[in-house]
Each structure stands twice: as C-alpha cells, then as structure tokens.
Amino acid sequence: QVQLEESGGGLVQAGGSLRLSCATPGRRVTDYAMGWFRQAPGKEREFVAAVDWSDSITYYTDSVKGRFTISRDNAKKTVYLQMNSLKPEDPAVYYCAARTQSYHSEYPESYNYWGQGTQVTVSS
C-alpha cells in the first residue's frame, strides 16, 4: 500500500518561502517517479514539478522554474518541494503524487497514488 502524506503548507507573504514535504510511510517508492501538482479553486489540477526515481532528473512547469526545487531523499522516504519567491498566483492546494514508473509525467491521470493535499496561501 502506497501512502503519501503532505505537510508544510501555510500562509506566507509574497516573496516568501515554504518547503512542502511528502512522506511515504508505506510501500517503498524509491523506484517510482514523484510529482507535485496544485489545484486552485475553480481550476483544473496542474503539474508543478516532478523527479525521476534517481533524483537526478527533475522537471518543472514554466511558471515555477527558477523559484521551486523538487528533490527526494529515498533514505528518508520523503519528497520535498522548496518554494521560493512565492507569488500571488501560486496559492492552491498542493498534492504529492506517485507514479509506478521510474520516469516522470506531467499528466495527473498517469499518477497512481495521491496525498490528501496541503494548502498554500500567499498574501500580497
């Protein structure tokens, strides 16, 4: 059983930083690609970032490149999303997802497991 547990969301001022964590206490996911998605009210869930199983290859949507960093620590069974220079357009519920393939995808339907989400709010 794959379990994903996000944490680290909250309220931050524009320009500030947050680090989201995604713990995977169940089945080992070291050979799975991991992704972060976000969903704002009234919008579809969108891809934010992903990392392949080895942590050596990462992918980002254009709007977060240079500001967000995804990483994984397979020993700690945790995936991180460091978010810097947060902007008013970043607020959403952020979801961690696992894909039973070693390489990433930008399509939410290609991910097999999802966390419950964590809210990120940015004040201007």
Q: Which of 6, 108, 3 is nearest to 48 (CA)?
A: 108
Q: What is the mean pLDDT of the chain?
A: 94
pLDDT of 25 higher than 90: no
With bands split at pLDDT 50, 70 and 90, how would you rate the model's confidence at 1? confident
Q: Which two tokens stand for residue 107?
A: 């399509």
Tens digit of each residue's pLDDT (9 = 90 or more) over 79-107 = 999 999 999 999 999 999 999 988 889 99
48: left (phi over 0), alpha (psi -120 to 50) or beta: alpha
pLDDT value at residue 55: 66
